Amino acid sequence: MADPTTSGPYPLAEPGLWVERVGLKVFPTGTPALFLDRDGTINVDTGYPDDPTDMVLREDVAAVIATANRADIPVVIVTNQSGIARGYYGWGDFAVVNGRVLDLLRADNAFVDMVVACAY
């Protein structure tokens, strides 16, 4: 069981807060953005997601994200991961699962600009 307060190689802004910029695109200040919850909105909710093979995208979500991409609207995934705070899994497990979700989206030509996760 991983310690949720240690960052290791992960983009933790502070203990319990993951802030990851995906890609290099820069948007002007004040640009509207699309914020989407991950579990249950982007992917089918599996409870405490610690297995990347369980990740399945919800129907039509990639099309919505791709539409935002074409309109030059930043897409941000926001997600609470209380399983980390509870010690069910760690940031490493989160990284692998989240990477799988991003890969599934990319396979459907849908791209995310930022991921923000809170362990509490």
Catalytic residue set:
37, 39
> Would you say 45 and 38 are in contact if contact means Cβ atoms under 8 Å apart?
no
Candidates 53, 46, 40, 31; CA nearest to 104 is 53
The residue whose two tokens read 């820069």 is 26
Residue in the block written with tokens 């979500």: 61
